[in-house]
Amino acid sequence: MKLIESHGLTLGYGQVKVLRDVSFAIERGEIVTVVGPNGSGKSSLLRALIGALKPVAGTVSRANGLRIGYVPQKLQIDATLPMTVKRFLNLPRRQKAAECDAALTRAGVPELAGTQMASLSGGQFQRVLLARALLGTPDILILDEATQGLDQPGAAAFYRQIEDVRRELNLAVLMVSHDLHVVMAASDRVLCLNGHICCEGTPEIVADAPEYRALFGTGTQGTLALYRHDHDHAHDHSHDHGSIH
């Protein structure tokens, strides 16, 4: 079942087109990653898919009653706005306390409910955003560079958490990322953008594609292989990392 689908989608701001002719669909249970250089239209694509950016041309259709868990690229909470983690989780809809706790646990930060958002570390903040996105049983998680400000083990642990969540809840995951090697290994499908879709497919296919290599260099293939090789080791590491919180 297709959750979100676009046909011939062209996006722009004023006269400037950032993305043209994107036809794309995502189904339940899939992890799809969008990669591409800065300004290649990744965030714009996500914003159009959630309905925040009106297409210049083409269409976006979302399944009826689709519930989206969204993690925005930037969430700046003004210093004048007091906000505990618990209060934040109850936006825009009130949630049962038990469900808030469950979401925090699933996101790997069970002990933070009473903390002010402003005093969270970068990693904690991203996990709280993830917890909020998981509330209200979403059909799809959409994450826009959700690991910004995390170090590499932290980012790897975050993505593994997402894989776990996907397995448990059978939801679709669509994410934008810069952590090429980590993300590519975690994805079922990769979409490489540079003003249009350069190439798409499984991580291996995309990493071999000449368009992708032209954008990111040939070195990435090596890193990807390296990551695959390190996967088990990094997994254990992440559990250590998680328990420190």
| 3-state class (DSSP) for residue 119 | helix
Give the Cα-Cα-Cα angle 240, 223, 38 (nearest 5 degrees).
Answer: 95
| 3-state class (DSSP) for residue 70 | strand
The count of C-alpha atoms lying within 13 angstroms of the C-alpha of 208, restricted to the half-sphere facing its C-beta, is 6
Q: Is 72 in the site for other proteins (CB under 8 A)?
A: yes
Cis peptide leading into residue 138 (ω within 30°) = no
Encoded tokens for 188? 């079922």
Query: Exactly one of 1, 15, 64, 94 binds other proteins (CB under 8 A); which one?
Result: 94
- DSSP assignment of 129-181, as one string? HHHHHHTT--SEEEEESTTTT--HHHHHHHHHHHHHHHHHH--EEEEE-S-HH
Q: Is 84 in the site for other proteins (CB under 8 A)?
A: yes
By beta-carbon proximity to other proteins, the closer residue of 9 and 142 is 142
By beta-carbon proximity to other proteins, the closer residue of 174 and 198 is 174
CB of 176 to other proteins, least distance (A): 13
Q: Is 77 in the site for other proteins (CB under 8 A)?
A: yes
Binding to other proteins in span 32-51, by CB under 8 A: 47, 50-51
Q: Is 56 in the site for other proteins (CB under 8 A)?
A: no
Exposed (0-12), middle (13-18) or buried (19+): which is 86, by Cβ within 10 Å? middle
By beta-carbon proximity to other proteins, the closer residue of 53 and 207 is 53
By beta-carbon proximity to other proteins, the closer residue of 116 and 148 is 116
By beta-carbon proximity to other proteins, the closer residue of 51 and 217 is 51
Binding to other proteins in span 183-212, by CB under 8 A: none
Which spans of this chain sit near other proteins (rule: CB under 8 A)? Answer: 47, 50-52, 68-70, 72, 74-75, 77-78, 80-84, 87-88, 90-94, 116, 136, 142
